[in-house]
Amino acid sequence: MPQVSERGILMPASPIRRLAPLANAAKARGTKVYHLNIGQPDVPTPPEGLAALKNIDRKVLEYSPSDGLPSLRKKLKEYYKRFNIEVETDDIIVTTGGSEAVLFAFMACLDPGDEIIVPEPAYANYMAFAISAGAKIVTVPSTIDEGFALPNVDKFEALITPRTKGILICNPNNPTGYLYTMKEMLQIRDLVKKYDLFLFSDEVYREFCYTGAPYISAFHLPGIEEQVVLVDSVSKRYNECGIRIGALITKHPELKKNVMKFCQARLSPPLLGQIVAEASIDTSPEYMLATYNEYVERRKFLIDQINKIPGCYTPIPMGAFYTVVKLPVDDADKFCQWCLSDFSLDGETIFMAPAAGFYTTPGMGKDEVRMAYVLEKDELAKAMKVLAAALEAYPGKTI
C-alpha cells in the first residue's frame, strides 16, 4: 500500500473534534453529552437569513464569482464601516469560512520554512493550516496565571529570524477570551512595521466584547494598512457556522492577486451560504443585542460556576465565547476522554476540548481545557454539575 504524506502525519488532529468518536459512542449508549468543546452556538440563526433561503427564486444553483457575490462584498464593506474599518469592496475576498481565509493567507504569504509568530494558547487549526503551507508557527507563551495577557513585545522580537514573515493574533481571542489593549496593539504594529511583516488578524469575534474596553481592529493601526491580512467569518456573529462563509481582507496589491489564484482554483465559495450571509447582515440591532446579552449572562454564569468548583480556575474572558480552565487533574486530555468513556451522572456527561492542543510548547496546558459557553444557562448549569461530580470521581485528580 502506498505511503501517506509526512505532512498529513505531522498534522495535529483537532483538539476540538478529535474526541468526537468517543462522544458518539457515549450517545450511542444513551448518554446525553453537553458539548462544551466546540463553538457551535445554540442561538437561532437570524430570521432574515432563513427567509432568504425560503425565498430563493433561482432555477440553477450556479457558481458564484471566485471572490464572492459582488452584492455580498459590498454589504460587507458597509458592515466593516460600522466598526471604523475602512476597506474597499475590492479589498474583500469571500472565502469558504474563516478557515479558508487562514489557509489562503498562509498559502499566499508563506513558503515552506517561513515562520510566523503567534501568542499561545492559540486556535488549534492555525497550526494545521501552517503545516498545510509547510510553514512554521513559533509561539510566545501566555499563561493562565497572567490572565493570558499579551507577553511583552520583547519576547516577540527575540523570536524574529530572517524567515519570519508575519505575526498572527486573534482578537478577541479564541481560546482565551483575551481582548488586546490599544497599547498592546500599537506595540505589535511597531514590530510589524520595523521588520516589514504581515500582520494576520483573526477578528471573527468582534461583536463579542464584554468589558466596555474597545475592540481594536488591525486596520485601526496607522501605517501598516498594506501589511494587515484580516480574517473574518459570519459563522459566530449570526449563529450560522454551517454556511461556511468568511472573508480575507487585504490592501496589499500583490497579495490580492496571489490569493485570487487560490480562489480560482477552488472555483467559488458556497452560493447558498453567501445568500444567507448577505441577508443576515441586515438582521436587526435587537437580534444582535439579544445574542450579545445572552453571552454576557452565560459568561458570568459559567465563570462563577467554574471558579466555585474546588481546584478549578479560569480568568474572566473579555470577549469571544470561550474560556480556558485549569482543572485539578493529572492530564486534561485523559480526563476529557474519561468523561466521555467512563463517566456519567444521571445519564449525562460533558465534552471539553483538552487545551494542550492549543499550545505548541510541550507540557503547556496539560491541566487545562477550553470550554465554549454556547449552550443556554440551564444546560451550562447541568454541565457544571457533571463536571463537579466527574472531578470527584476521576482517579487522576490532584486534590
Q: Is 354 a binder of its own copies (CB under 8 A)?
A: no
Q: Is 156 a binder of its own copies (CB under 8 A)?
A: no
Give the shortest CB-41-to-its own copies separation in angstroms.
7
Residue among 151, 135, 141 nearest 200 (CA): 135
Cβ proximity to its own copies: between 47 and 396 the closer is 47
Q: Binding string to its own copies for residues 89 to 108, with x set by CB under 8 A, is what?
A: -------xx-xx--x---xx
Q: Is 68 a binder of its own copies (CB under 8 A)?
A: no
Q: What stretch of H or E contains 287? A: helix 285-308
Measured in degrees and rounded to the nearest 5, phi and psi for residue 33 equal -115, 120
**Footprint (CB under 8 A) of its own copies, residues 157-196:** 165-166, 196
**Which residue has 486596520 as its cell numbers?**
219
Q: Is 357 a binder of its own copies (CB under 8 A)?
A: no
Q: Is 198 a binder of its own copies (CB under 8 A)?
A: yes
Give the shortest CB-48-to-its own copies separation in angstroms.
12
Cβ proximity to its own copies: between 49 and 315 the closer is 49
| C-beta separation of 321 from 380 below 8 A | no
Q: Are strands 368-372 and 92-95 parallel, antiparallel or unpaired?
A: unpaired
Q: Is 272 a binder of its own copies (CB under 8 A)?
A: yes
Beta bridge partners of 168: 200
Q: Binding string to its own copies for residues 216 to 255, with x set by CB under 8 A, is what?
A: ----------xx-----------xxxxxx-------x-xx
What is the spatial distance between Cα 279 and Cα 50, in angstroms, rounded to a whole number? 8
Cβ proximity to its own copies: between 110 and 371 the closer is 110
Give the shortest CB-389-to-its own copies separation in angstroms.
28
Q: Which one of the spans 40-48, 283-291, 298-306, 325-333 is the region binding its own copies (CB under 8 A)?
A: 40-48
What is the spatial distance between Cα 61 and Cα 78, in angstroms, rounded to a whole number? 26
The residue within the footprint of its own copies, chosen from 25, 29, 42, 289 (CB under 8 A), is 42
Give the shortest CB-217-to-its own copies separation in angstroms.
19
Give the shortest CB-257-to-its own copies separation in angstroms.
8
What is the spatial distance between Cα 190 and Cα 175, in angstroms, rounded to a whole number? 25
What is the spatial distance between Cα 300 and Cα 316, in angstroms, rounded to a whole number? 8
Task: Indicate the SS3 state at residue 229.
Answer: strand
Give the shortest CB-175-to-its own copies separation in angstroms.
15
Give the shortest CB-216-to-its own copies separation in angstroms.
21
Beta bridge partners of 116: 137, 166
What is the spatial distance between Cα 219 and Cα 217, in angstroms, rounded to a whole number? 5
Cβ proximity to its own copies: between 69 and 306 the closer is 69
Q: Is 26 a binder of its own copies (CB under 8 A)?
A: no
What is the spatial distance between Cα 180 and Cα 142, in angstroms, rounded to a whole number? 13
Measured in degrees and rounded to the nearest 5, phi and psi for residue 296 equal -60, -45
The residue within the footprint of its own copies, chosen from 31, 89, 132, 143 (CB under 8 A), is 132
Q: Please count the CA atoms within 13 angstroms of the CA of 372 that sit on its side-chain side.
A: 19
